[in-house]
Structure 1
């Protein structure tokens, strides 16, 4: 099932219970995330969601992507959608 959020987009495969992350903001990427990995990202962002400076994430371990505070909140919402699909 294709998931398109405000910050991320990708494909959730319910047969193997994995999310294939394909887009972050306007950047194309390809990462496979299992439930534990998504939960770790989600809990980290929830813990730091009210920091004024936002967050910086990396793609391909080299490209920095800045998320403003409102984008962090949007990403949290996107992650909640994907997390609800795991069984």
Structure 2
């Protein structure tokens, strides 16, 4: 199932119970997110969602990508949308 969020987009595979991340903002990537990883990322972002400086995430463990406070909130909403698909 294809999921198009505000910050991320990708495919959820119910048989493998994982989300294949294909886009972050306007950058294309290929990464797999398991339920525990999504939960950890969600909890971290919820703790820091009100920080005015936003957050920095990395793609491929080497390319920093800045998220504004507003984009962090949008990413949280994207993750909330994906989470119910896990079983």
TM-score by length of 1: 0.98
CA distance in 2, matches of 1:31, 1:46: 22
- Residue 31 of structure 2 corresponds to 31
1:5 Cα offset (Å): 0.1
Count of aligned pairs? 87
Unaligned stretches of 5+ in structure 2? none
- Offset from partner CA, 1:29-51 (integer Å, 9 cap, x none): 11111000000000000000000
TM-score by length of 2: 0.98
Cα RMSD over matched residues? 0.4
- Offset from partner CA, 1:5-39 (integer Å, 9 cap, x none): 00000000011100000000000011111000000
**Alignment partner of 1:70 is 2:70:** yes
